A and B are shown apart, each in its own frame.
Chain A
């Protein structure tokens, strides 16, 4: 069963697309990541032009995040106030990111930089999360009385413009969340992802938010940042393929519900170790492509 995509101008297998959407939706529901870091490379492998894959990926993440956030809203695990602050930073970052992206695109280096960015970010974050969650697992197994204090007093807590985030149980400056939001916005636009896989650890380790609220809140922010990114791509490069997006969405929204149920049954440490393993695996695959001698040394890029 083939499906012709009018914007991408390629024909792809519909079953494969639906399966991809479902897989990514499950991740979204379980971990609070949009799954863009998986969907974008997988769409490349299916022969969809990178520009279309990036823009349409953002569009799909809008839907899977909405679907995921509903489940979290119901369980009251979304810090709306924190979400709005993160979002304010995210929109600024996204606009800046698209600007940088277009400059790099003109020089033919966007592919390399996107891949490098993936390898570096996924490697560092995956590694950190893996070590941390292995430690946490060991602690809880060895009797678990001595858990680390959640609020260690670092420089983040000495900044002005303090705000109270009740759902997270935090009273911190608005500057760090704004910066986190902006950084994620930049990466979202450049790497074509929602940015959840970077924001989730940043919220836990940098802002000190409880893991329970982190997933819902990051999904909330991702909805708006990816919606904004979709609009920017549609207007500047006309690379959003609605047919492709709908196929991914249909699979994705179903997967997200399944994922949210699985996620609520697993323990937080197990969840994190799973996510860390996944992040490292994608990182490894991308690094291989960068360092191994490619079979074809030439690349065609259509001008205009």
Chain B
């Protein structure tokens, strides 16, 4: 009897905050990415289920959008132009904040999954994720600079839009794999999941993935930042010893 009461209370508690008709229950295959010295990229499996009180709405399809974003960093983008026959950086535009990594996975083509209004509100698509561009007045058409950031980073695999890569089963279970490239920056990676119907967001959840260097790499990085002089001396001493040892060994082998 007591057990039954506890169970009922639990069920109630679970149901109460769920004012929204559909909620996300989520897990990640790993919520920590360790960058060791032989790190060669990583794959994260994002999977979960939709929790709902009411029966599955019949009039619309459930779609899922997953984003993973790296730390935001300010950038300077230069445009090259011919100066005296040589290609030189001429105009510069500061992009206030751009993620170092940004992946979007959707269950259907992006325009079908998320409306423009919702995209504006939640900053989901890649152009929306890059925060305002403070262009100097003399630069016309600063948009091409932001476009360039997207183009360059998409080509390098840092920005990815994978339409249809989220598989949704029975409008309830969903999963997606997100590829993290080898050139990851340390930091907290925000992961967002949006449940949408007809382009409107009906449910949303956020999780964080910690990307950290470990082992020797971490130690060296901290030393370089915290004790740069000692780090520099260490670098020089290693080089001196290595160079001397190598030549001593070859002398020995030769005689």
Q: Which residues of A contact B (CB under 8 A)?
A: 1-4, 6-7, 9-11, 47, 59-60, 62-68, 70-71, 74, 108-109, 111-112, 116, 223, 227, 230-231, 233-235, 238, 240, 242-243, 245-246, 249-250, 253-254, 256-257, 290-291, 293-294, 296-304
> Is there an interface contact between B37 and A243, defined as CB atoms closer than 8 Å?
yes
Query: Which residue of B has the minimal Cβ distance to A240?
Result: B235
A62-B236, A116-B86, A298-B148 given; A303·B251 CB < 8 A:
no
Q: Closest CB-CB distance, B71 to chain A, in whole Å?
A: 11
> Is there an interface contact between A63 and B239, defined as CB atoms closer than 8 Å?
yes
Q: Closest CB-CB distance, A174 to chain B, in whole Å?
A: 27
Identify B228's interface contact among A238, A290, A294, CB under 8 A: A238
Q: Closest CB-CB distance, B244 to chain A, in whole Å?
A: 6
- Cα distance A51–B178 when bound, in Å? 30
- Mostly helix, strand, loop or mixed at chain A's interface? helix
- CB neighbours (8 Å) of A7 from chain B are 220-221, 224
- CB neighbours (8 Å) of B194 from chain A are none
Q: Closest CB-CB distance, A60 to chain B, in whole Å?
A: 7
Q: Which 3 A-B pairs give the minimum distances between C-beta atoms?
A: A66-B243, A234-B232, A11-B182
> Is there an interface contact between B240 and A108, defined as CB atoms closer than 8 Å?
no
> Is there an interface contact between B244 and A301, defined as CB atoms closer than 8 Å?
no
Query: Which residue of B has the minimal Cβ distance to A227?
Result: B236
> Is there an interface contact between A4 and B182, defined as CB atoms closer than 8 Å?
yes
Q: Closest CB-CB distance, A123 to chain B, in whole Å?
A: 14
| A–B complex contacts, Cβ < 8 Å, 22 sampled | A4-B35, A4-B38, A4-B40, A6-B216, A7-B220, A66-B244, A70-B244, A74-B251, A108-B76, A109-B89, A227-B239, A235-B232, A240-B232, A245-B238, A246-B242, A253-B247, A254-B246, A257-B247, A297-B81, A298-B80, A298-B151, A303-B94
A10-B182, A256-B246 given; A111·B89 CB < 8 A:
yes
Identify B152's interface contact among A65, A243, A298, CB under 8 A: A298
Q: Closest CB-CB distance, B222 to chain A, in whole Å?
A: 9
Most B C-beta atoms less than 10 A away, residue of A64, A250, A303: A303
Q: Closest CB-CB distance, B200 to chain A, in whole Å?
A: 35
Q: Closest CB-CB distance, A1 to chain B, in whole Å?
A: 8
Query: Which residue of B has the minimal Cβ distance to A73?
Result: B247
- Cα distance A161–B221 when bound, in Å? 47
Query: Which residue of A has the minimal Cβ distance to B76?
Result: A301
User: Per-position contact with A for B24-53: 1 when CB-CB < 8 Å, else 0?
Assistant: 000000000001111111000000000000
Query: Which residue of B has the minimal Cβ distance to A7?
Result: B224
B interface residues, how many (CB within 8 angstroms): 63
Is B109 interfacial (CB-CB < 8 Å)? Answer: no
A62-B236, A109-B89 given; A67·B76 CB < 8 A:
no
- Cα distance A132–B224 when bound, in Å? 46
Q: Closest CB-CB distance, A193 to chain B, in whole Å?
A: 16
- CB neighbours (8 Å) of A256 from chain B are 243, 246-247
A62-B243, A67-B246 given; A243·B74 CB < 8 A:
no
- CB neighbours (8 Å) of B232 from chain A are 230-231, 233-235, 240
> Is there an interface contact between A299 and B217, defined as CB atoms closer than 8 Å?
no
- CB neighbours (8 Å) of A293 from chain B are 87
User: Per-position contact with A for B71-83: 1 when CB-CB < 8 Å, else 0?
Assistant: 0011111111100
- CB neighbours (8 Å) of B184 from chain A are 9
Is B108 interfacial (CB-CB < 8 Å)? Answer: no
> Is there an interface contact between A294 and B183, defined as CB atoms closer than 8 Å?
no
- Cα distance A112–B89 when bound, in Å? 8
- CB neighbours (8 Å) of B40 from chain A are 2, 4, 11
> Is there an interface contact between A65 and B228, defined as CB atoms closer than 8 Å?
no
Q: Closest CB-CB distance, B126 to chain A, in whole Å?
A: 15
- CB neighbours (8 Å) of A298 from chain B are 77-80, 144-145, 148-149, 151-152
> Is there an interface contact between A108 and B92, defined as CB atoms closer than 8 Å?
yes
Is B229 interfacial (CB-CB < 8 Å)? Answer: yes
Is B185 interfacial (CB-CB < 8 Å)? Answer: yes
Is B55 interfacial (CB-CB < 8 Å)? Answer: no
> Is there an interface contact between A294 and B80, defined as CB atoms closer than 8 Å?
yes
- CB neighbours (8 Å) of B233 from chain A are 231
A6-B213, A66-B244 given; A109·B88 CB < 8 A:
yes
- Cα distance A4–B186 when bound, in Å? 13
- CB neighbours (8 Å) of A62 from chain B are 236, 239-240, 243
Is B250 interfacial (CB-CB < 8 Å)? Answer: yes
> Is there an interface contact between A67 and B38, defined as CB atoms closer than 8 Å?
no
- CB neighbours (8 Å) of A11 from chain B are 39-41, 182-183
> Is there an interface contact between A245 and B251, defined as CB atoms closer than 8 Å?
no
Q: Closest CB-CB distance, B43 to chain A, in whole Å?
A: 15
Given contacts A108-B89, A301-B76, 13 further A-B contacts (CB under 8 A): A4-B36, A4-B217, A6-B213, A59-B235, A68-B247, A227-B236, A230-B232, A230-B235, A233-B232, A253-B243, A290-B86, A293-B87, A302-B75
- Cα distance A301–B91 when bound, in Å? 13
> Is there an interface contact between A59 and B236, defined as CB atoms closer than 8 Å?
yes
